[in-house]
């Protein structure tokens, strides 16, 4: 990590840290007072998005339905497939809580980041002890991509959006597969809500009460 002087905050982003077993211990030995930010979204949507990204690079891979099940007839989900495993957030968080208190971890809702980016960014800035500089006026909703883009309110330059790899159209997935995935994730989601003290309402969003 680069050297940081007083008054500066150094940030680094690597999504795989959260799901890498060795990461919490290594990070703790480097900087035990570090603040951690984790963006999470509905694990079913996350798995489909993960697959969509892989599909764009490797069009020859099997269908989502084939990869998601160990046994389709019995409805056995293949939790060893990384697209599925990553969304078992409670499992990964358990590893982190062995090294860091919950007070040092902020969980950002991926869904709310789309519908209320300024609100989620306010939480991030408060968590980092920063002045709330990024507000509503810094966001512009891009209808084509389906998510907010950043803009500088003080100048007329074009808003900055995430690249082509973001906002891809997802392939159509058999509704029965989605239903089985929801059932698979539900107990893990409940455990995650309990561990974090936050209800991300993924079940309500799906109408799967």
Query: Which residues fall in the annotated binding site?
Result: 41, 49, 166-170
pLDDT of residue 153: 66
pLDDT of residue 62: 94
pLDDT of residue 209: 42
Residue-level pLDDT, tens digit, the chain, 209 residues: 788 888 889 999 998 999 999 999 999 999 999 999 999 999 999 999 999 989 988 989 999 999 999 998 888 999 999 999 999 999 999 999 999 999 999 999 999 998 899 999 999 999 999 999 988 888 888 776 677 888 876 666 666 776 655 656 778 899 999 999 999 999 999 999 999 999 999 988 555 44
* Distance, CA of 154 to chain centre: 30
User: By C-alpha distance, which of 168, 135, 178 is closest to 153?
Assistant: 135
pLDDT of residue 39: 96
User: Could you tell me the sign of the dihedral formed by the alpha carbons of 95, 100, 103, 104, in that order?
Assistant: negative
Query: Which residues fall in the annotated binding site for 3'-phosphoadenylyl sulfate?
Result: 41, 49, 166-170
- Residues forming a β-bridge with 6: none
pLDDT of residue 95: 97
pLDDT of residue 146: 72
Tell me how many helices (H) and strands (E) the chain has. 9, 6
pLDDT of residue 208: 47
Q: With beta carbons less than 8 A apart as the criterion, state whether 198 and 57 touch.
A: no
The DSSP result for 91-143, as a single string, is HHHHHHTTTS-GGGEEEEEHHHHHH-HHHHHHHHHHHTT------GGGEEEET
Q: With beta carbons less than 8 A apart as the criterion, state whether 196 and 102 touch.
A: yes
Cβ neighbours of 13 (radius 10 Å): 7
pTM above 0.85, yes or no: yes
């Amino acid at each position: 990590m680069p050297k940081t002087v007083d008054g500066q905050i150094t940030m680094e982003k690597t999504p795989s840290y959260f799901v890498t077993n060795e990461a919490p211990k290594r990070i703790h030995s480097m900087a035990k007072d570090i603040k951690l930010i984790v963006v999470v979204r509905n694990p079913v949507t996350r798995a489909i998005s993960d697959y969509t990204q892989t599909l764009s690079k490797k069009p020859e891979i099997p269908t989502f339905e084939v990869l998601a099940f160990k046994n389709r007839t019995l409805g056995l989900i293949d939790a060893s497939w990384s697209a599925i495993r990553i969304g078992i957030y409670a499992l990964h968080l358990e590893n982190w809580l062995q090294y860091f208190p919950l007070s040092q971890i902020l969980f950002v809702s991926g869904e709310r980041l789309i519908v209320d980016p300024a609100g989620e960014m306010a939480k991030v800035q408060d968590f980092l002890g920063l002045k709330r500089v990024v507000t509503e006026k810094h966001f512009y909703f891009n209808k084509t991509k389906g998510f907010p883009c950043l803009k500088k309110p003080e100048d007329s330059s074009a808003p900055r959006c995430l690249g082509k790899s973001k906002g891809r159209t997802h392939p159509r997935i058999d509704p029965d597969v989605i239903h089985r995935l929801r059932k698979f994730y539900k107990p893990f989601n409940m455990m995650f809500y309990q561990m974090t003290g936050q209800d991300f309402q993924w079940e309500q969003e799906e109408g799967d009460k």
